[in-house]
Amino acid sequence: MLWDSFKNLLGWAFKNNIKMITSISKELYEVQIPNFTGEVKMLPFNLENLAEIPTQFKEMVSKMIEALPIKKGIAYLTVDGKLVEKGKTQRRGGVHIDGNYLPSLSWGNGGGNGWKVGEGGRILSSKEHKLSYENETGGMLIASTYPACKGWNGVFEGKPYVGGDCTRLKGLDEGFVLKPNTVYYGNSQWLHESLPIDKTTHRIVARITLPMDYPVLGAVGKGF
Ligand SMILES: [Fe+2]
């Protein structure tokens, strides 16, 4: 089982005091993303009843969370719809992990701990950094209307730097480009980056950030 080999490798790394990143993602299913211009940033909502989700996004959000075995707790919705010019990245470029959102560190308008519309995060204390970027739990669901995001799966030697920056990570392969209008699950250590878009396009990205204690999907018995 894939998860067992991850666990074995992590056990070995732990014994030898080597930092590893376990990047897990999975393509789930298609979703219809409603047309939208503007930005919803980290809107907290109840996974159980979606009460706080604006009507226009309800159908999309319920589809996105369909694969979750546990629909409880507070998750956060981000929707970003804008015209992206050819050669520009809509979201955060450079390989990184999003880590976990720590609501207690939120600064102001729901931007969270750098979470992110493109730029590196604020500097966290080492305890906060560990909670956010070196935790096994947490994760996200993400979809976009046009392919301009790359992801990697696997176990890699190295550690995330400020804001989840993983550009120094060695041994990354080609990765894969995420398909449009398709929901992907990623754990909180999922390596990804926004790519320069190949033609000027109105692109919409929808992301659901899961609670920081959300179990890793794909782990034994957790299913997708
Ligand atoms: Fe990201």
Q: What is the pLDDT of residues 90-101, one digit of tens each?
A: 999 999 999 999
Residue corresponding to tokens 């999003």: 98
Cβ-contact 133, 121 below 8 angstroms: no
Taking the centre of ligand 1 as the mean of its atom positions, its distance from the CA of residue 166, in whole angstroms, is: 11
Residue 106 lies in a domain: yes
Residue given tokens 């996004």 in the structure block: 57
In a domain, 96, yes or no: yes
pLDDT for the residue 19: 85
Residue 1 lies in a domain: no
- Tell me if 73 is assigned to some domain: yes
Q: Which segment, 3-17, 64-78, 125-139, is predicted with the most confidence on average?
A: 64-78
Q: Give the distance (Å) from ligand 1 centre to CA of residue 52.
A: 23
Residue 131 lies in a domain: yes
Cα of 10 vs centre of ligand 1, distance in Å, is 23
Top pLDDT among 135 and 61 is at: 61
How much is the pLDDT for 213?
A: 93
Expressed in angstroms and rounded, the spacing between residue 114 Cα and the centre of ligand 1 is 10
Residue 186 has pLDDT above 90, yes or no: yes
Measured in angstroms, how far is the CA atom of residue 14 from the centroid of ligand 1? Answer: 26
Specify if 83 maps to a domain: yes
Q: Closest Cα partner for 141 from 207, 191, 48?
A: 207
Q: Within a domain: residue 223?
A: no
The Cα 178–Cα 30 span in angstroms is 12
With H, G, I as helix, E, B as strand and everything else as coil, classify residue 132: helix
Phi-psi sector, 124: left (phi>0), alpha (psi -120 to 50), beta:
beta
Ligand 1 centroid distance, CA of 193 (Å): 6
Q: Contact 161/168 with Cβ under 8 angstroms?
A: yes
Q: With CA atoms as reference, report the closest residue to 89 among 193, 206, 175.
A: 193
Q: What is the dihedral of CA 92, 179, 139, 136, to 10 degrees?
A: -100
Residue 195 backbone dihedrals phi, psi, to 5 degrees: -100, 150
State the distance from the centre of ligand 1 to the C-alpha of 45, rounded, in angstroms.
20
Q: How far is the CA of 171 from the centre of ligand 1 (A)?
A: 20
Domain around 173: 20-209
Q: How many Å lie between the centroid of ligand 1 and the Cα of residue 151?
A: 10
Q: How many domains does the chain have?
A: 1
In this prediction, residues 169-193 reach a mean pLDDT of 95
